[in-house]
Amino acid sequence: MHRCVLAFCMAISLADIVPAEDLLLNSGLVAATFSDFESPDQLTFLDDKNQPLVVAADQLIRYGHEPIADFASGLMMVDGSWVVGRIERIAKDQVAIAGRYFRTTLSLTNVRAIALQLPTQPLARASIFETIAEADGGDDRLLNVSGDEIAGVLQFPPTIADAPLAFGATWKLRRGERTDAIAASTLRGIVLSPLLHPIRPAKSGFWFGLDDGTRLAIRSIQRTDGAIELELASGESLAFAGDWDQFSAAVQSIQPVRDATHWLSQQPALAFKQQASLSELQWPLATDSGLRGEPLSIAGYRYRHGLSMHANAQAAYRIPPGATRFQATVGMATGDDQSTATGSVVFQVLTTDATKAVRTQFTSPTLRPGDAAISLDINVRDSKLIVLMVRDAGDGSSGDHAVWADARFLLD
């Protein structure tokens, strides 16, 4: 028998637990597959009876799961898109890239960063991604294989042809009054100056995640004579190498750029407590990542938004005005080799109302690494406070890395 930390525990029937499906809407979960791009405001899916289901952008929370990035090289565009492929040529105003679905030349003014050879270790890879996404200041930055950053003004060579990592190619970086020659083969990536290549976040359209790790902010899709051309928020156009059936099969995730969903990871916790055992350090509350900084994932599926905590822990949040429901997908972490970990956790959700009465709204069965995620949907219309709890399942808390993926409030 599990012990409830707060009073008035109320069990929930397992029949009330909704299994996770592919299409997540404001109204709930639907089994569906991507079918067509109608406009920047709506998409078409096929439900489990193969009937068309037209979804407006403001009703879509996400479709599918973002692929875990396992590519070695690619380009980050100024709108946040990632184009995956082998860097074939870099010049002062253009960069050529060849991948599974795209072989193209892009204007360097629309490129924010160039990944040349990413590490295979999840934590090292996540660190490079974070550096690329958050680098600021006026200088260019070279990221080398040892993890160091070298800031300065990049001197572009006239051209680097036939793969910039080969043939002893070097980059020149001016640092004050000196100029350093840096071997391209020692570089993980290049972050171009934010002053000359500023981030211009997409304001409309959808994020499309493809199965090779490509992630694009797509503003429109044009189809003519079997050809597919994708217009990005940055203004670049990419020609997809394949027909529509191949494109729809490659799409692993879709998320609207403009999102009315109130993600819990973007709201500070009112209180957080983690009770460490004698043999363990205290763990923090992690937002939009695993507890070690790795990508957020459950049972091999990656999630962009969510919380991570280590049993035994609880986090309290104020429920924002106008919120009607709290939804999340829960399970044990599988990022950073957690798929081979041992551990077991029980998730609970409690709420309080204006009279400070406490209700247990959800209690999960015992979950272990590799178990399928469980989705929950709780009415919070009359509640003021929500508490997310993770408890060990009576066998100690070692390895109990718990994930609240897609944790969010839906507003009225």
pLDDT digits (tens, 9 = 90+) for 100-149: 999 999 999 999 999 988 888 777 777 788 788 777 778 999 888 887 88
Question: Residues 337, 294: contact at Cβ < 8 Å?
Answer: no
Do 406 and 388 lie in one domain? The reply is yes
Give the pLDDT confidence score for residue 6 in this predicted structure.
Answer: 36
Domain membership of residue 163 (yes or no) is yes
Q: Which residues of the chain have pLDDT under 70?
A: 1-21, 68-69, 157-168, 259-260, 277-280, 335-341
Do 226 and 83 lie in one domain? The reply is yes
Give the pLDDT confidence score for residue 162 in this predicted structure.
Answer: 45
Domain membership of residue 6 (yes or no) is no
Give the pLDDT confidence score for residue 187 in this predicted structure.
Answer: 86
Give the pLDDT confidence score for residue 294 in this predicted structure.
Answer: 84
Do 384 and 407 lie in one domain? The reply is yes
Q: What is the dihedral of CA 327, 329, 332, 335, to 10 degrees?
A: -120
Q: What is the distance between the alpha carbons of residues 249 and 259, in angstroms, rounded to a whole number?
A: 25
Do 305 and 236 lie in one domain? The reply is no
Question: Residues 400, 367: contact at Cβ < 8 Å?
Answer: no
Give the pLDDT confidence score for residue 351 in this predicted structure.
Answer: 96
Domain membership of residue 315 (yes or no) is yes
Domain membership of residue 5 (yes or no) is no
Provide the domain limits for residue 399: 14-20+261-411
How many structural domains does the chain have? 2
Domain membership of residue 237 (yes or no) is yes
Give the pLDDT confidence score for residue 241 in this predicted structure.
Answer: 92
Last residue within a domain, chosen from 259, 282, 308: 259
Do 390 and 306 lie in one domain? The reply is yes
Q: What is the distance between the alpha carbons of residues 153 and 405, in angstroms, rounded to a whole number?
A: 40
Do 129 and 271 lie in one domain? The reply is no
Contacts of 372 (CB under 8 A, 6+ apart): 19, 20, 299, 331
Do 53 and 112 lie in one domain? The reply is yes
Placement of tokens 């983690």 in the chain? 274
Domain membership of residue 2 (yes or no) is no
Instruction: Indicate the helix (H) or strand (E) that contains 149.
Output: strand 149-155
Domain membership of residue 8 (yes or no) is no
Q: What is the distance between the alpha carbons of residues 341 and 332, in angstroms, rounded to a whole number?
A: 10
Give the pLDDT confidence score for residue 319 in this predicted structure.
Answer: 94
Last residue within a domain, chosen from 219, 239, 259: 259
- What tokens were used for 403? 């994930």
Contacts of 127 (CB under 8 A, 6+ apart): 147, 293
Do 185 and 245 lie in one domain? The reply is yes
Give the pLDDT confidence score for residue 186 in this predicted structure.
Answer: 86
The C-alpha angle with vertex 118 and arms to 289 and 166, in degrees rounded to 5, equals 170
Do 44 and 169 lie in one domain? The reply is yes
Last residue within a domain, chosen from 259, 288, 306: 259
- DSSP code, position 244: H
Domain membership of residue 9 (yes or no) is no
Do 230 and 113 lie in one domain? The reply is yes
Q: Which of 260, 336, 268 is nearest to 298 (CA)?
A: 336
Do 405 and 333 lie in one domain? The reply is yes
Do 282 and 232 lie in one domain? The reply is no
Give the pLDDT confidence score for residue 167 in this predicted structure.
Answer: 45
Give the CATH number, domain containing residue 295: 2.60.120.1060
Give the pLDDT confidence score for residue 19 in this predicted structure.
Answer: 42
